[in-house]
Chains A and B, each alone.
Chain A
Amino acid sequence: MTTVELDEHPVAVPPAHPGHWHVTWHGVRTVAALELRQRVRSTRWVVALVAWFVVVGGLTLLISGALSAVDDGADRQRGALLFAAVTFLVLGLGLLVTPTLASTSINGDRAAGTLATLQVTLLTPAEIALGKVLAAWTASCAFLLASVPFLGFAAAVGPTPWWSVLRVVVLVAVLLAAVCGMGLGFSALVARPAGSTVLTFVTVAALVLGTPLLFGVTYPSVEQTESVQVRVQRTDDVTGNPTTCELTTQQRSVAHTERTWWLLALNPFVVMADGAGTSSSLDQAEARNDPLGVLREGVRLARTGASATIDECWGVDGGRVEPTADAPIWPWGLGVNLLLGAAGFVVAVRRLSLPQGKLARGTRVA
């Protein structure tokens, strides 16, 4: 060894403008690689992935078999149902697995005594937080990728267009990223890993189960009797055949769901159904057999609420005006989910910033 080496010996150089939000790919990759290495080696990773593959595959085949037993012959109808089932299965299982991946990444490290030593390095808080989210998200995406073959299989059976598979995968991935962000935020806020995991699950449950429940509970309060415009049909006095449509004003009980539709829009499953875009290429009869399409139409109608004219002019050809509910709602739901994830990320960065003024109750720094 010579003195020459000392001149080039590694000197730690802080970034020029080392703000807490400064992010470099190098820093994020360092943290993510660390997290993934630790996770992949310390858990029965391959076992979990294989188990996932078997469960999703098995359920897909079971559903497929059950559907063909109930309703044989109509492959196209069966396909739409199967695709919806597999989509919801993948999303549901993803929402079950992902909270456990991200929700202990900060307080778990703190408990293990590895966080502070990482914080005192030149990694910025944003890099640490982003690296942790990236690692958790990559892990959850591995599960998602393991279920792609079955989504493909379900799409191959029926009328589902191939790009619906792509849209489902992207949407699930983005939703899981949002859940990772929420989990990270809770893991920064709560001292105990068990607590943050529970809080993340509660949040996901609130989005999945709480929103339709709240929508149902608030339904009576938005329902009221008022005068609305109704399109009715006039029938021929002699033949009894419908002839023309006529606009009348009637007292009806209507639900102003345009005030509460957003509750449904927050639901990841609604986001999924609306964003998958399955039955837009189907004719009406098939759309009624596509749960994703039905859910989508239902939520879009709820958004329209009682503001539209009620159409009861069924009999006249070309007389019925299709309810215009074409505006997609999934961007709203996805946006709110992502905002929640981003909020979690911001909380994590703030909690990781040095030096710390306040400490979470019951924690030591080191």
Chain B
Amino acid sequence: MTTQDAAAEAAGSGTTTDDGIVVRGVTRAFGAVQALAGVDLEARPGAVTALVGPNGSGKTTLLLVLAGLLTPDGGEVSVAGHDPVTAGPAARARTGWMPDAFGTWDSLTAREVLTTFADAYRLDRAPSRRRIDELLATVHLTEYADRPASVLSRGQKQRLGLARALVHDPQVLLLDEPASGLDPRSRVDLRQLLRRLADEGRTVLVSSHVLTELEEMSDDAVFLSRGRTVVPDTSHGVTSPGDGRRTFHVRALSLPALTAWLDAAGAAWRPDEPWTAPTTGPGGVLVEVNGDEGAAALIRDAVAGGVPLVSAAPAAGALERAYLTLEEERR
């Protein structure tokens, strides 16, 4: 499928809020463990939404609820305009789900796996056969199309799993750790593919631990902690790259010298690792600067001011920092 086609399709189908994911106050317990304790989430069509949270924060459980596999104990869920509980088949027909851990039928070829799923979604044979060829090309498995899935590597199986989730052309994509096991090249491909799918007007919800990865491809981010959506301190902008202001990560041999100089210069700064105690030795801070020119001025003045500067670079991982500012501990 080319981008033009996709754009035409997106324009034709018309994206409404019904095509997205809406979650309101969803709870779910497994025995004594409260896996979801009130999740609110909105993923809009045409955007990649990142689902971020520590291990055991309920990401997978939430995705299982959205995929229609688990009944929530309470709350409302709408996936592509349908409730996965009361209108399961309607919601599932529009949802592509890729679990974090899944198997393939080892004896079947990649093409047979996809054909089986096309049949399972009750798709017409002829168009779905063409679509399967396209999907195999999309995930770069064409040369493995007729080899048994048992010869595929972990990353190739992961890509086959992605193709499987896309076989029925779903409006909503739920991807649980899609990048795990992928080589760097495949990660870039995945990022571009998800971007394209979102640009086609689909709703894409991705959970991952690779935060820099997520940051590059996601438009929105939702943080989960202990089964709740939490709003991290995003005053320094999780999602806003660009305009004038940029955050620089500045490190010096002596943290007190650096901060003293910044205070004297009147520059606003904050610790780069707020969760650790301040040191008197080497350390770094985050400084808001006015574009690259502002950064150049900062570095020049700091060196001139006698600060033992080690490095100054654009701060990466806004998502990571937001993640780390989550107050709750991992469990």
Per-residue CB contact flags for chain A residues 109-122 toward chain B (1 = under 8 Å, else 0) read 00011101111111
Contact residue among A10, A37, A365 (Cβ-Cβ distance under 8 Å from B108): A37
The majority secondary structure among interface residues of chain B is mixed
Whether B88 contacts A10 by the Cβ 8 Å rule is no
Query: In the complex, A116 Cα to B68 Cα: how many Å?
Result: 10
Contact residue among B12, B64, B108 (Cβ-Cβ distance under 8 Å from A366): B64
Whether B71 contacts A366 by the Cβ 8 Å rule is no
Interface segment out of the listed B110-118, B250-258, B319-327: B110-118
Whether, in the assembled complex, B32 has its beta carbon less than 8 Å from a beta carbon of chain A, the answer is no
Interface segment out of the listed B17-25, B99-107, B241-249: B99-107
Query: In the complex, A5 Cα to B99 Cα: how many Å?
Result: 30
Query: If the complex has contacts A30-B119, A34-B108, A365-B64, are A14 and B103 also in contact, measured as CB distance less than 8 A?
Result: no
Per-residue CB contact flags for chain B residues 141-154 toward chain A (1 = under 8 Å, else 0) read 00000001000000
Whether, in the assembled complex, A8 has its beta carbon less than 8 Å from a beta carbon of chain B, the answer is yes
Whether A355 contacts B68 by the Cβ 8 Å rule is yes
Interface segment out of the listed B122-130, B182-190, B202-210, B303-311: B122-130
Query: If the complex has contacts A1-B2, A122-B121, A366-B100, are A14 and B90 also in contact, measured as CB distance less than 8 A?
Result: yes
Q: How far does the Cβ of B71 sit from chain A's closest Cβ, in whole Å?
A: 4
Whether, in the assembled complex, B299 has its beta carbon less than 8 Å from a beta carbon of chain A, the answer is no
Q: Which residues of B contact A354 (CB under 8 A)?
A: 68-69, 88, 92
Whether B69 contacts A365 by the Cβ 8 Å rule is yes
Query: In the complex, A81 Cα to B106 Cα: how many Å?
Result: 46
Contact residue among A2, A8, A9, A113 (Cβ-Cβ distance under 8 Å from B101): A113
Whether, in the assembled complex, A6 has its beta carbon less than 8 Å from a beta carbon of chain B, the answer is yes
Q: How far does the Cβ of A304 sit from chain B's closest Cβ, in whole Å?
A: 53
Query: In the complex, A348 Cα to B128 Cα: how many Å?
Result: 30
For A9, A13, A27, A38, the residue with the greatest tally of chain B CB atoms inside 10 Å of its CB is A9
Whether A30 contacts B120 by the Cβ 8 Å rule is yes
Q: How far does the Cβ of A105 sit from chain B's closest Cβ, in whole Å?
A: 12
How many chain B residues touch the partner (CB < 8 A)? Answer: 56
Q: Which residues of B contact A335 (CB under 8 A)?
A: none
Q: Which residues of A contact B93 (CB under 8 A)?
A: 12-14, 122
Per-residue CB contact flags for chain A residues 4-22 toward chain B (1 = under 8 Å, else 0) read 0110111111110010000
CB-based nearest A residue for B127: A10
Query: If the complex has contacts A10-B168, A120-B95, A121-B120, are A356 and B69 also in contact, measured as CB distance less than 8 A?
Result: yes
Whether, in the assembled complex, B97 has its beta carbon less than 8 Å from a beta carbon of chain A, the answer is yes
B48-104, CB < 8 A from A:
60, 64-65, 67-71, 84-85, 88-90, 92-95, 97, 99-104
Query: In the complex, A33 Cα to B119 Cα: how many Å?
Result: 11
Whether A38 contacts B105 by the Cβ 8 Å rule is yes
Query: If the complex has contacts A34-B108, A122-B89, A355-B88, are A9 and B169 also in contact, measured as CB distance less than 8 A?
Result: yes
Q: How far does the Cβ of B152 sit from chain A's closest Cβ, in whole Å?
A: 14
Query: In the complex, A284 Cα to B156 Cα: how many Å?
Result: 71
Contact residue among B5, B95, B105, B121 (Cβ-Cβ distance under 8 Å from A3): B5
Query: If the complex has contacts A26-B122, A122-B93, A355-B68, are A9 and B107 also in contact, measured as CB distance less than 8 A?
Result: no
Query: In the complex, A272 Cα to B104 Cα: how many Å?
Result: 40
Q: Which residues of B contact A357 (CB under 8 A)?
A: 71
Q: Which residues of A contact B5 (CB under 8 A)?
A: 1-3, 5-6
Query: In the complex, A181 Cα to B119 Cα: how many Å?
Result: 24
Per-residue CB contact flags for chain B residues 26-43 toward chain A (1 = under 8 Å, else 0) read 000010000000000000
Whether B92 contacts A121 by the Cβ 8 Å rule is yes
Query: In the complex, A33 Cα to B118 Cα: how many Å?
Result: 13
Contact residue among A8, A12, A34, A364 (Cβ-Cβ distance under 8 Å from B122): A12
Q: How far does the Cβ of B29 sit from chain A's closest Cβ, in whole Å?
A: 11
Q: Which residues of A contact B106 (CB under 8 A)?
A: 38, 42
Whether A113 contacts B103 by the Cβ 8 Å rule is yes
Q: How far does the Cβ of B149 sit from chain A's closest Cβ, in whole Å?
A: 10
Whether B69 contacts A119 by the Cβ 8 Å rule is yes
CB-based nearest A residue for B105: A38
A112-149, CB < 8 A from B:
112-114, 116-123
Whether, in the assembled complex, B193 has its beta carbon less than 8 Å from a beta carbon of chain A, the answer is no
Whether, in the assembled complex, B277 has its beta carbon less than 8 Å from a beta carbon of chain A, the answer is no
Whether B127 contacts A359 by the Cβ 8 Å rule is no
Query: In the complex, A10 Cα to B60 Cα: how many Å?
Result: 28
Query: In the complex, A14 Cα to B121 Cα: how many Å?
Result: 8
Whether B99 contacts A121 by the Cβ 8 Å rule is no
Whether, in the assembled complex, B8 has its beta carbon less than 8 Å from a beta carbon of chain A, the answer is yes
Q: Which residues of A contact B44 (CB under 8 A)?
A: none
Q: Which residues of B contact A27 (CB under 8 A)?
A: 120, 122
Q: Which residues of A contact B71 (CB under 8 A)?
A: 355-357
Query: In the complex, A12 Cα to B119 Cα: how many Å?
Result: 10
CB-based nearest B residue for A43: B107
Query: In the complex, A96 Cα to B30 Cα: how many Å?
Result: 38
CB-based nearest A residue for B125: A10
Contacts A30-B119, A354-B69 given; 12 further ones with Cβ under 8 A?
A1-B5, A3-B4, A3-B8, A5-B130, A10-B123, A11-B168, A12-B168, A27-B122, A34-B108, A114-B104, A122-B122, A355-B88
10 closest Cβ pairs, A-B complex: A41-B107, A113-B103, A14-B89, A10-B123, A121-B120, A366-B99, A18-B89, A12-B93, A112-B103, A12-B168
Residues of B at the A interface (CB closer than 8 Å) are 1-2, 4-5, 8-9, 12, 30, 60, 64-65, 67-71, 84-85, 88-90, 92-95, 97, 99-108, 112, 116-124, 127-128, 130-131, 148, 161, 164, 168-169, 176
What are 11 A-B contacts with C-beta separation under 8 Å?
A1-B5, A10-B123, A12-B168, A37-B107, A116-B69, A120-B95, A354-B68, A354-B69, A355-B68, A355-B84, A366-B101
Residues of A at the B interface (CB closer than 8 Å) are 1-3, 5-6, 8-15, 18, 26-27, 30-31, 33-34, 37-38, 40-42, 112-114, 116-123, 354-357, 359, 364-366
